[in-house]
Structure formats: C-alpha cells, structure tokens
C-alpha cells in the first residue's frame, strides 16, 4: 500500500477504523474496549472518534463528548486497574497504524496529539482515583 498524507475525513476514518480493528484483536488492551463498547455500538464509536480526530487534525468542530469522563468511567469499571502500560501500548498501536498507512505533517501531528492526550487522560484518571488504589 502506498502511504499518503492525511488529507480528509475519509483518511481519518481509515486511520481510526484500522486502529480500532487492531485494538479489538489485541490481547493486552483489547478486552478493555470490547468489554466497554457493545458490538452493536462500534460503528457509532468509530464515527465519534473520527469526529474527535478530524477535530484535532483539521480544527473543524465536529466532536461532542467528554473524553476525560469517559476514561474515568472505564477506569472505575475496571477497578482502577488501567495503568501507564495500557496507555503506552495504546500509543504503540496508534503509532504503528499511522506508520503503516500515512506519512507527512498530519501523521506526525496525530502522533504528537495522541501522546499529549494519552498523558493528560492518564493523569486525570489517576488524580481522581480513590486513595486505596494509589498504594
């Protein structure tokens, strides 16, 4: 496959859908996603995340949602067991998906923004964890 620049919503959709296909099949972090998102909701989830990344990469106002709350809820549902390793693995899969499909400035921006978002989300999750889970 020839790599190209991320230039459109269709490109963002390709990135997001390919990435989440990999996530669903991943032994380490896949269960977090497949136990959280019912199978019937995956298409809606992919569309929402395409909106999220289109907003982040092209500065269009499409995404509506609260990622911090969503991630805090998931962490709580998994008994506050989500760790930096999970976020690191998520980033590795994101980077490799980008590298397999795309090149250029938007691809690099997608990596940098993912790194920043992952750090922020983890810190926000961690700061609200019950004290008993922090030891």
For the chain, give every domain's residue range. Answer: 9-130
pTM of the model: 0.90
* Range 9-130: architecture per CATH: Orthogonal Bundle (1.10)
Q: CB under 8 Å to 69, separation ≥6 — which residues?
A: none
Using CA of residue 73, residue 68, residue 125, residue 18, what is the dihedral sign?
positive
At residue 132 the predicted structure's pLDDT band, cuts being 50, 70 and 90, is low
19-33 tens-digit pLDDT: 999 999 999 999 999
Q: Where are the alpha helices (DSSP H) in 25-80?
A: 30-36, 42-58, 67-77
Q: Which of 38-52, 68-82, 113-127 has the highest average model confidence (pLDDT)?
A: 38-52
């Amino acid at each position: 496959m020839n790599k190209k620049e991320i230039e459109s919503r269709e490109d963002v959709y390709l990135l997001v859908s390919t990435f989440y296909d990999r996530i669903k099949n991943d032994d380490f972090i896949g269960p977090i996603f497949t136990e959280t998102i019912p199978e019937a909701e995956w298409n809606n989830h992919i569309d929402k995340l395409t909106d999220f990344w289109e907003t982040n990469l092209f500065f269009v106002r499409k995404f509506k949602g609260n990622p911090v709350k969503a991630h805090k809820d998931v962490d709580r549902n998994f008994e506050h067991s989500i760790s930096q390793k999970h976020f690191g693995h998520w980033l590795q899969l994101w980077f490799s998906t980008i590298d397999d499909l795309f090149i250029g400035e938007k691809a690099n921006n997608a990596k940098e923004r993912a790194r920043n978002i992952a750090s922020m989300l983890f810190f926000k999750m961690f700061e609200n964890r019950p004290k008993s889970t922090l030891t």
